[in-house]
Amino acid sequence: MTYQELKRDEERYVMATYGRFPVALDHGEGAKLWDVEGKCYIDMTSGIGVNCLGYSDSDLIKAISDQAAKLMHVSNLYTTAPMVETAKTLVLHSGLEGGKVFFANSGAEANEGAIKLARKYSYDKYGEGRSKIVTLKNSFHGRTVTTLKATGQDKFHQFFFPFTEGFDYAEAGNLEDVKAKADGTACAVMMELIQGEGGVLPLEKEFAQAVEAFCREKDLLLIIDEVQTGIGRTGSLFCFQQYGIRPDVVTLAKALGGGLPVGAVLAAGSCSGVLTPGTHATTFGGSPTVCAAANAVLEKVTNPVFLEKVRSKGEYLRQKLLAMNSPAILGVRGMGLMVGIIVEDGKQGEYVNQLMDHGVLALTAGKNAVRLLPPLTITIEEIDEALAAMKEVFGAE
């Protein structure tokens, strides 16, 4: 079917919740995608940070198809080897002593689980009245009624009233504001170390460390939302490992399944026993097939050589962007292969459209960022191809 034919049926049968680009994608290989008309693109989006091994990774495909043939799904009333292995790998590589994992199906659900865990942690220890969760302004934590309210952006607090109560928002980088908002009614602070949707905005290390110290002092749980930054994206398995902090709870999703839907709440020993039988569950969570995918992903992404390549390719990309000396590029932010090209406010969408015309798929973020989240396996040749298109679009010297 052509794009026009597909679009006609999409408009008829699919809810119009997305402003989609005028392209229907058909297949991919490595960091390249082809649309139904045969045009090829370098993918600097990886399904918004999901396809960390790129497209058609043979080990990932084999892991999924072998497991699907053997045992695709069973309920959480039974134990399976792939699920146990994923949890063990995440805990052992996180360094979170006594850590345990709850499996969800998406980032929003992982955050919902973390919010429930934090509230119960506090309820079990201190009783009622300590349920507030402080998040940061400009954050993004998901699209459920609760995680929309956890998100520190007013534009997400519309239409769907009443939202879940018990969230307040502190200024990123402002410890005094965190302290003021996290008063005696709070049980946790939840934050992204690099605000992804908010504009690829990394927190200062000193700020993250000071928030951690404050959480310890007040017995607040520190929840780090690594849905976008986790699983190698920033050049370490977890971004928190480069911040020198020890969260109580880490939430994961996106890249963990390499393309299959899986989320995870990874809780440290301080709170890994809080969620008990009957307090939290989900039918699909930790199914053997998605966990087989996660195990294939983790096998590669936990390799120090793989992670070093993510860091060096990210550095290469950022340096080349800066060296373009383009008047349109006002700055370059990010860590590893999570990159934000800062442009004039409001112009990011136009640049992304132009990049697509030049055969490069990119994302927007916040008020002024063109966001690049390529597959972690992207090659230098593929990066160079994308850079050549960017040079034309940004009108580099």
Ligand X SMILES: Cc1ncc(COP(=O)(O)O)c(C=O)c1O
Write out the residues near ligand X by the rule CB under 6 A. Answer: 48, 106-108, 111, 140-142, 192, 196-197, 225, 227-228, 253
Residue with smaller CB distance to ligand X, 140 or 351: 140
User: Which contacts of 305-309 are long-range, i.e. CB under 8 A and separated by 24 or more positions?
Assistant: 306/232, 306/376, 307/232, 307/235, 307/236, 307/237, 308/235
User: Least separation, in Å, of the C-beta of 126 and ligand X?
Assistant: 27
> Do 189 and 134 form a contact (C-beta atoms < 8 A)?
yes
Query: By C-beta, is 111 or 364 nearer to ligand X?
Result: 111
Find the radius of gyration of the CA atoms of the chain. 21
CB of 144 to ligand X, least distance (A): 8
CB of 2 to ligand X, least distance (A): 29
How many beta carbons lie within 10 A of that of residue 45, not counting itself? 22
d(CA 201, CA 121): 30
Residue 228 or 272 having the CB closest to ligand X: 228
Judge contact between 49 and 255, C-beta under 8 A: yes
* Bridge partners (DSSP) listed for residue 55: 30
Closer of 372 and 390 to ligand X (Cβ): 372
Residue with tokens 């709850």, as numbered in its chain:
102
Report the residue number, 50 or 387, with the smaller CB distance to ligand X.
50
Q: Cβ of residue 251: shortest distance to ligand X, in angstroms?
A: 7
Helical pair 81-94 and 288-301, crossing angle rounded to 10 deg: 30
Give the shortest CB-93-to-ligand X separation in angstroms: 20
CA distances from 91 to 86, 96, 265 (A): 9, 6, 11
Least distance to ligand X, CB of residue 30, Å: 24
Comparing CB distances to ligand X, the nearer of 234 and 326 is 234
At its nearest, how many Å lie between ligand X and the CB of residue 91?
Answer: 21
Minimum distance, C-beta of residue 254 to ligand X, in the bound complex (Å): 6
Cis upstream peptide for 162 (omega within 30°) = yes
**AA identity, residue 237:** L
Closest CB to ligand X among residues 133, 253: 253
* SS3 annotation, 181-227: HCCCCEEEEEECCEECCCCCEECCHHHHHHHHHHHHHHCCEEEEECC
Nearer Cβ to ligand X (243/394)? 243
Nearer to ligand X, 131 or 228 (CB): 228
Which single residue brings its beta carbon nearest to ligand X? Answer: 107
Between CA 326 and CA 79 the distance in angstroms is 55
Instruction: Kindly state the smallest distance separating residue 139's Cβ from ligand X, in Å.
Output: 8
Order across the sheet with 331-335: list the strands: 331-335, 338-342, 369-372, 363-365
Token pair in block for residue 114: 């973390």
Residue of 331, 323, 396 whose CA lies nearest to 366: 331
Instruction: Work out how close the CB of 169 gets to ligand X at its nearest, in angstroms, rounded to a whole number.
Output: 15
Where do the DSSP E strands lie in the chain?
A: 25-29, 32-35, 40-43, 100-104, 132-136, 167-170, 186-191, 194-195, 201-202, 221-225, 249-252, 263-267, 331-335, 338-342, 360-361, 363-365, 369-372
Nearer to ligand X, 30 or 366 (CB): 366
